[in-house]
Structure 1
């Protein structure tokens, strides 16, 4: 019996679906297990379909890394809607963002682990390192835009360049996430991030 023909979908939608499937493979089997053949098998498509959607493995990895950026940015809009009158309000907004991220890590630890594995792989792979650096820069810009919005709402300013505050905030966020993946202590995870948010908020003058 012949297999049913797959419905044609727009290329952007196919790329999105394949990138999400790639994360599924990495979360289950480890980041190093992601190959175009493994992705094709998981997605139930011919191997050539993956190469049609992504001209190279680098392009696929770029799409996977962008999903992580989208995940972070999707948590931010509700934080930007609040009233910010000073450092305490800014710290509360940062804490809400950090807590939302913590909830997502606790809900899907294997996904977070896969992205940390990608970071470690990038340390040894020059091509992947270049993509990871680009992704980190986009994360920094996203966080900086969030922090700039808090400063604008409050009429205050960050005591140092906002990109530095953004980089430090991300370091605190991802460092706490890595620690939780090792210890699985939810209470400590949230307490550390709450304190980290207070540290960030106090830098608004």
Structure 2
């Protein structure tokens, strides 16, 4: 067992990676504290020291997935305030992020389905949904700042709509692997967001 002392954040990250590895190979419902400890080569006590319970570990896994998926979108904001360039770059970033992290995104959907089916996982699935909407809201606010604009629609309602539409587009792509259809749908979404802006 690898129980050498490490900083808490580093150990948590290691546990999250182990949990994601188990989930991608064996499914979300196979993620247990024991299984993750085994995957990480650490003791059960170390996992319990880093996370209060399995749900806390699963929520951390969801955050890790969301952060990775959002990285291309955050980088795309660096192109400057021109709306057309921002829109085009956002579409590229959405498709790039989806293709680079498709296994991680599939886990997000698996969390949602497992949560709908299994009461024990419902709270975790709801936390992941809220997290996705919060991150979308943060991105939209940053986008408005870069675009030097504001939204006509309430930002909370807009964030929920955008997050749900992204999920739908991504799920369709995972089924049909049609890049052109996904790009077109992301383009429609992006233009709808910019159409909601005013100086």
Instruction: Judge same fold: TM > 0.5, yes or no.
Output: yes
Q: Distance between the aligned counterparts of 1:81 and 1:65, measured in 2? A: 26
Structure-2 residue corresponding to 1:74: 71
Mark the runs of 5 or more structure 1 residues left unpaired by the alignment: none
RMSD over equivalenced CA pairs, Å: 2.4
Task: Indicate the structure whose relative CO is greater, using CA pairs within 8 Å and at least 6 residues apart.
Answer: 1
Paired position in structure 1 for 2:38 = 41
| Aligned partner (choices 95, 100, 104) of residue 102 of structure 1 | 95
1:27-38 correspondence runs (5 A): 27-38=24-35
Q: CA deviation at 1:159?
A: 2.0
Equivalent position of 1:170 in the other structure: 163
Unaligned segments of structure 2, at least 5 residues: none
User: For 1:149 and 1:109, how far apart are their aligned partners in 2?
Assistant: 25
TM-score, normalised by the number of residues in structure 1: 0.83
Count of aligned positions: 198
Q: 1:30 to 1:95 in 2, by over 3 A?
A: farther
Residue 22 of structure 1 aligns with which residue?
19
TM-score for both structures, normalised by structure 2: 0.85
Contact 2:73 2:90 in 1 (8 A): yes
Provide runs of 4+ in structure 1 moved above 4 Å. Answer: none
Q: Are residues 100 and 83 of structure 1, via their aligned partners in 2, closer, same or farther at CA, if it must alter by over 3 Å?
A: closer
